[in-house]
Structure 1
Amino acid sequence: MKNNMKSKLAAALVLGLGLTAAQSQAEPTAQSTLPGRSTVYKNLSPSSLEDQSSPEQIIAVTRGSSGASAIYGVLEQGEKVECMQCIPHVAKLLIDKNPRTREISAWWLRRRVFGVFGPGEVYSQVVDRLQDSSQPAVQRAYAAESLGEFLTQSSVKFVAKAAMEDPDAIVRVASVKALQRLNTQGPNGEVGAAMADSDEEVRMTALRASTHINVFTDVEMVVERIDDESARVRTRAAETLGAMRATDAVVGLIALAQSDSDANVRKAAVAALGNIGDQSARPAVEAALKDSDSLVRDAARIALRSL
């Protein structure tokens, strides 16, 4: 009988301890989820917390002489404001001279449920502006930029065509940047094709874009740029090939490292060979240790760690 009583007491004690432990574990979790915003911001003045912008504020800031920072703040805080009457006012900012204003305006517009992407609405107007050769080149460039910021796949065909066919380089540059923003090399490899553009800045923009697109397959177009007439383009091509670890480019990069007349190109080529890590490049990189330019020699010392 005594043994039975002791067993019951022991079991009750274990059960009690278990319940206490369970409660002690549960209580902090419950307490931590209850206070929410008031606890997180308890030490801040209420006036320092962001309030949602009103339709009146959005319309007001798009008029007159509001600065880029003011416009940015109001539109950012008005992300969830559905305001049909605000749309035409914000749409006018897509051609503002300030790039931050254009960016935040497109950002706000692309979040609208209604009034932007329907027939004849803002999106269609921007497409028409890009395709209208009577529009000033800068306006067409802003249109390409906006199509990139709208982040819709339907924009790809429009900016891809402009990247290839627009007569003004600033529009082609903006269109290639838009393809980068849309994370695509284009339906027919327009980013790669733009690397052969007659304008140096378009070629540079396309090379930059190739390293920011998730899937870029036209590596051979990058390789061709190591023979470009522009030292800037050759430098960027070498840097791009190094970032891509393009083994097919090793022979060409060795030639750049050994004989290019521009020290920046030689430095970029040596660094790229180190990134690629092909052992066949070791003699050329070792030779670069004696280059007349100190930055090339520094690049060679670093590259040899990978060879």
Structure 2
Amino acid sequence: MDFTNASLTELRVFREVAERGTLTAAAAALGYTQSAVSRQISALERAAGISLLERRRDGVRLTAAGHIVLRRATTVLDQIDATARELAGLPTEAGTVRLGWFTSAGAVLVPRAVAALRRTHPAIRVVTREGSTPALVRALRAGSVDLAVLASAPPFRPPDAESPPLELRTLTERTLRLAVPATHPFARRDSVDVADLRGQRWVASASSGDEQLMGVWPGLDERPEIAHTARDWMAKLHLVAAGCGLTTVPPSLASAAPPGVRIVAVHGGPEELRRIVLARLPHPPAEPVARLADALFAAAAEPGAAG
């Protein structure tokens, strides 16, 4: 074993695989072939003298040794990138915070928080990225984001089983709602019974990879009719406004519904609570990170920010 022979390219590829969760996704992100990614990982494991990844049917998972290498690799790569910026005469990124957010949080919550932080602390630069909750958790572990706004549903388990556990703080907790066209009979009510949802047409996102079907009311006792599929939540709401079907609304999007959409409550069956959670690695945050966290909590407390 001679880990000093590990190359920066191997470390970058390894960090990308840890974040993406599969060799295929990492290859696509890096512009490599899957076989090239596999060769880089194999070379790094030979240098380490131990397996760093557990290969599974649904992707890869870091071994205990892999977590050690990832932690050290992230520090090394960040230092190399900072050195390259300094040599190029570019401004330091000491005041930069990298924020990840799940899709619907980008409609109201994240823009409000970032705008408020720009007014109070203009020297702090916020870089954001959208992703699914599982992808953002991997990005936190890989050191690619500093904070992540995550979605959480009952029974509100931790977002992963890795150690050490992520530090989680609830930004807000609200009840899932239903978006209906203004011309739909449901639009004349403040609430509907879950039994009334049988036979309705739905606008939903297709389940794929680490994301489940979203847009259909949970627990329906029938196979739902999906009239339209769309990943983007605003696209779903505009399809609802056009009379194309119903969709569920995360709390963070209720106040952003376009004209032609009515938001109603659903009664009957288990209460469908949803949490918006702020997550980070369990170490003392840098001041810019703490400032952004404060801004997110203040934005979540504003009327309409989280439904």
Query: TM-score, normalization: structure 2?
Result: 0.25
Whichever structure has more helix as a proportion of its residues is: 1
CA radius of gyration, larger in: 1
Whichever structure has more strand as a proportion of its residues is: 2
Query: TM-score, normalization: structure 1?
Result: 0.25
